[in-house]
Amino acid sequence: MQKNLKKLTKRSEPYIFLVVLALCLLIEVRSGQFFTANNLVDIASAMVVPGLFAIGTFMVIVSGGIDVSFPALASLTSYATTKILLDAGYTGGIWLPILMSMAMGALLGAFNGVFIGFLGLPAMIVTLGSSSVFKGLMQGALNSVQLTVIPKGMQSFGTSALFVATNPVSGLTSRMPLGFLVFAAVLILSFFIMRYTFFGRGIYAIGGNEVSAHRAGFHTKRTKFLLYVFVGMTASLAGLIRTCMMQQNHPTNMLGMEMNIIAGVVLGGTAITGGAGSLTGCMLGTLLIVIVENSMILIGIPTIWKSVFVGALIIIGTGISAYQVVRANRTGGFKSRIREVKA
Amino acid sequence: MKRILSLLLVSVMLLALAGTAFAQDKDWEIVVVPKDASNPWFVRMKVGVDEYAAETGLNVYQKGTPEIDATLQAQLVQDLIAQGVDAICVVPVNPESLEPVLKQAMDAGIVVIAHEGASLENVNYDIEAFSNTGYGAFIMDNLAEAMGEEGLYTTMVAHVTNASHNEWADAGVAHQKEKYPNMTLLADEARVESEDNGDVAYNKAKELFKKYPDLKGIMGTSSYDAPGVARAIDELGLVGKVFTSGTGMPADNKALLESGTVKSLTLWDPALAGKAMIALAVKVLNGEAIEAPIDLAVDGYTALTFKEGSDKVLEGQGWIVINKDNVDSFGF
C-alpha cells in the first residue's frame, strides 16, 4: 500500500488531477454553477473535439514527433466531405460522411507519414509544411467559404442527444451530443492500442530511442507511418463532429487550436522529448484546458485578462508536472523512467 | 493653306480627345483587402468588387488572407506595395498594427481607402456605411424591441481591440441609457469577446446565461455573434425568454429568423461598401476634389458626409434591418 502511494506521488497525473479539482472548486465557489448537471454536460460536450485531437497529438508526441497540421487536416477533410455531399444532394445517414472524411484523413495522414516515417524528415518541419498545403488546398483548390447548411444526416447527428441535462434551479437544459460516444470509443481503442499492442509499444519504444527500438526488432519506419495515418483519421473525425455540432462548416475556425491542444498534452505529463506519458494524464491535461477556456466568465475573470490567466495556468501546470519528472529522475534514476513507460 | 490649317486643327482636336479618353481609361490597379477570404461577409464584398470591375472595366480585384490574422494582413498589404498597385482599399483586422504598413503605402504614393477603420491615421479616407453611433443605436433599438424594452443585457464584440465593434457597443449602451431606462447593462461582464468565431460566441453565451440567470439580452456586433448566441438560446431552452440582436447575413440566418429564435438582425451590404471604397479611390486617383456631400453613385453612399471633427472619415446611410419577412429579398 505504502509502496503504491509512494509510486503515485512520483507520477504527474495525481498532481494534474489535484489542479483540475482545485480549479473546479474555485469555479464552484465563484459561481455556484460548476457542479450542476447542465454545466458538467456542457464541459463534456466542449471536450469532444479537443479530446479527439489530443489523443492523436499524444500518440505523436510519445513517438518523439510533433504534429501541428491536424487542425488544417481536420478543416480540409470536413470541408471537402460537407461540400461534396451537399453538391451531391446526399440525404442519408451519418455513416457515409464519417467514412468519407476518415478515408481522406487517412490519405492526408499518410502524406505526413511518408515524409516523417519513410524519409525520416523532422516532424515539425513536415507538419508545418503540410499544414500550409492542406490550408492551401482548401482555400485554393476547393475555394472554401463558410457552409451554413450541412447535409441532413450530419444535421441530425449534431442535434440529437444521448440525454438532456436540466438544471432544476434555473431550468437551463444542455444536450450531451452523440459525438461524445464517438470520442469515448476512440479513447478506449487508443488506450488498448497503446497498452496492449505491438504497434503501441513500438510508439513508446521509438520515442524512447529510435535506434534501440529498431535494433530490438520494431519496424520503426512502418510504425511511424501508420501512426500518422491513425492520427489523420482521428483528426478528420474530430473535424466532422465539430461541423455536425456547429450545424455549419466554418473552414478556418479550427485553425490555431494546435497550440492549446499540445499544451494540454504536455500539461498532462507527456514528455515533449517522447517515450513517456499516459493517456490518462493527457486527458486530464486537455480537460484542464477545456475547463479553463469555458469558465472564464463563471470565475469572473475580465475579458481583457483572459489570455494572461490561461497562459499562467499552462505554465504553472506544466511546471508542476515537469518538476515531478525531474524529481522522479533524481531519486529513481533510470528505473522510474522505465516505470513511466510501463504505465 | 486653309486645308492644311483645318487638317491641323482636326488632328489637334483628335489628339486632345484621345488624351482625355486616355486619362479616363487609365489602367488603375485597385485592390480590395478584406479581413479574410472565407467569411461570407467578405465573399459578399467580392461580389460587389467583381460587379464594379465588370461594369467599369477597371483592373479592380479583391485579395484576402486565408484566415483572420492581423500579421498576415499586414504582409499582404506589404506585398501589394511591392507590386506597385495604384490604390489599396482595406478592411483592417487590427487598425493599430496596420498603421505602419499603411504609412509605407502612402509614402510609396499609393491611395489608401479604409472601411471599418475610423481610427486610422495613415489613409486618404475611411468610409463607414454609417456613423458608428447611429448603427450602435440602431442595433440597440432592435434588441430593446425584442426584449420589451426592459431587463438585463450585455454586449459582445469580436475582440476588445476591434475599433468599430466597440464603438457600436459603446453607442448602443449610451443609447439605452438615454432611451430605455428600464434596461440595465450587466456591470460584471459588460463586454465579452466572441473572437469572430461562432463556436466561441456559443460557449460564451452558455456561460453567461448560467452565471447570470437574470440576463435577458445580448447585443452582438460581429456577424458570428448573434447566430452563435442563438444556438445557445436554442439549446438551453431559452427561446422567447432571452434575446439577441446584431449584425448577420440574411441567407446564413434564414432558419434562425424563421424559427423566431432571433427576431431581427441588422446589416449593411458589404458588396455596396466594397463598391463605394473603389469609387472613392477612383475619384482620388483622378484628382477630383473631395467635398461633402459626396455622391459615389452607390446606394446608401450618395450623400457621404465627414464625421464630426474629422477630414478623413466619411459616413453614409447604409443600414438595413432583416427579419423573417424580408430575409429572402436580398439575394445573398
pLDDT in tens, chain A (343 residues): 566 766 666 677 888 898 899 999 999 998 888 999 999 999 999 999 999 999 999 999 999 999 999 999 999 999 999 999 999 999 989 999 999 999 999 999 999 999 999 999 999 999 999 999 999 999 888 877 888 889 999 999 988 888 999 888 888 889 999 999 999 999 999 999 999 999 999 999 999 999 999 999 999 999 999 999 999 999 999 999 999 998 888 888 888 899 889 999 988 888 888 888 999 999 999 999 999 888 888 988 887 788 888 888 778 877 776 776 677 667 654 554 555 554 4
Q: Which of A40, A246, A248, A297 to mutate to test the interface with B (most CBs of B within 10 A)?
A: A297
User: Which residues of chain B from 180 to 209 reach within 8 Å of chain A, CB to CB?
Assistant: 188-189, 191-193, 197-199, 202-204, 206-209
Lowest mean per-residue pLDDT among A237-246, B13-22, B235-244:
B13-22
Chain A residues contacting B, CB < 8 Å?
31, 33, 36, 38-39, 42, 46, 135-136, 139, 144-146, 148, 167, 170-175, 242, 246-248, 250-253, 255-256, 293-298, 300, 303-304, 306
The 10 Å CB-count burial string (b at 16+, else e) for A80-118 is: bbbbbbeeeebeeebebbbebbbebbbebbbbbbbbbbe
CA distance B13 to chain A (A): 50
Amino acid at A252: T
- Rounded CA separation A120/A224 (Å): 10
Do the beta carbons of residue B198 and residue B227 sit within 8 Å? yes
Residue with cell 473603389: B278
Query: Environment class of residue B8 by beta-carbon count within 10 Å: exposed (0-12), middle (13-18) or buried (19+)?
Result: exposed
Report residue B300's pLDDT band, with 50, 70 and 90 as the boundaries: confident
Q: Which of B71, B199, B224 to mutate to test the interface with A (most CBs of A within 10 A)?
A: B199
CB-CB under 8 Å, B40 with A172: no
The predicted-structure confidence for B159-177, as pLDDT tens digits, reads as follows 988 888 999 999 999 999 9
Q: Is the pLDDT of residue B130 over 60?
A: yes
Please state the rounded mean pLDDT for residues B82-95.
Answer: 94
Q: Which of B161, B234, B236, B332 to mutate to test the interface with A (most CBs of A within 10 A)?
A: B236
Q: Is the pLDDT of residue B20 over 80?
A: no
CB-CB under 8 Å, B213 with A303: no
- Predicted confidence at residue B215, as pLDDT, reads 94
CB-CB under 8 Å, A135 with B210: no
- Predicted confidence at residue B22, as pLDDT, reads 44
Which CATH number applies to B27-130+270-317?
3.40.50.2300
Cα–Cα nearest to A231, from A253, A251, A203? A203
Residue of A nearest to B242 (CA): A172
Do the beta carbons of residue B194 and residue B208 sit within 8 Å? no
The predicted-structure confidence for B207-219, as pLDDT tens digits, reads as follows 999 999 999 999 9
Q: Which residues of B touch A173 (CB under 8 A)?
A: 235-237
Nine-digit cell string for B255: 432558419
Q: Is the pLDDT of residue B15 over 60?
A: no
- Rounded CA separation B53/B39 (Å): 21
In chain B, CATH 3.40.50.2300 sits at: 27-130+270-317, 132-267
- Rounded CA separation B157/B164 (Å): 9
Residue with cell 434562425: B256
Report residue B230's pLDDT band, with 50, 70 and 90 as the boundaries: very high
| Bond from prior residue into B95 cis (ω within 30 degrees of 0) | no
Report residue B19's pLDDT band, with 50, 70 and 90 as the boundaries: very low
CB-CB under 8 Å, B40 with A171: no
Q: Which of B206, B229, B256 to mutate to test the interface with A (most CBs of A within 10 A)?
A: B206
Cα separations in angstroms, A87 against A81, A91, A120, B164 = 10, 11, 39, 37
**B214 shares contact with chain A (CB less than 8 Å):** no
Residue A314 makes CB contacts below 8 A (sequence gap 6+) with: A263, A267, A289
Q: Is the pLDDT of residue B133 over 80?
A: yes
CA angle (B214 as vertex; B213, B215 as ends), nearest 5: 95
The 3-state secondary structure of chain A reads CHHHHHHHHHCCHHHHHHHHHHHHHHHHHHHCCCCCHHHHHHHHHHHHHHHHHHHHHHHHHHCCCCCCCHHHHHHHHHHHHHHHHHHCCCCCCCHHHHHHHHHHHHHHHHHHHHHHHHCCCCHHHHHHHHHHHHHHHHHHHCCCCCECCCCHHHHHHHHCEEEEEECCCCCCEEEEECHHHHHHHHHHHHHHHHHHCHHHHHHHHHHHCHHHHHHCCCCHHHHHHHHHHHHHHHHHHHHHHHHHHHCCECCCCCCCCHHHHHHHHHHCCCCCCCCCCCHHHHHHHHHHHHHHHCCHHHHCCCHHHHHHHHHHHHHHHHHHHHHHHHHHHHHHCHHHHHHHHHC
CB-CB under 8 Å, A296 with B40: no
- Rounded CA separation A19/A27 (Å): 12
CB-CB under 8 Å, B206 with A174: yes
Cα–Cα nearest to B155, from B185, B110, B118? B185
Q: What is the mean pLDDT of chain B?
A: 88
Do the beta carbons of residue A28 and residue A43 sit within 8 Å? no
Cα–Cα nearest to A173, from B216, B192, B239, B243? B239
Report residue B259's pLDDT band, with 50, 70 and 90 as the boundaries: confident
Do the beta carbons of residue B221 and residue B155 sit within 8 Å? yes
Q: Is the pLDDT of residue B24 over 60?
A: no
Residue of B nearest to A175 (CA): B235
- Rounded CA separation A15/A328 (Å): 13
For domain B132-267, the question of CATH label 3.40.50.2300 is answered with: yes
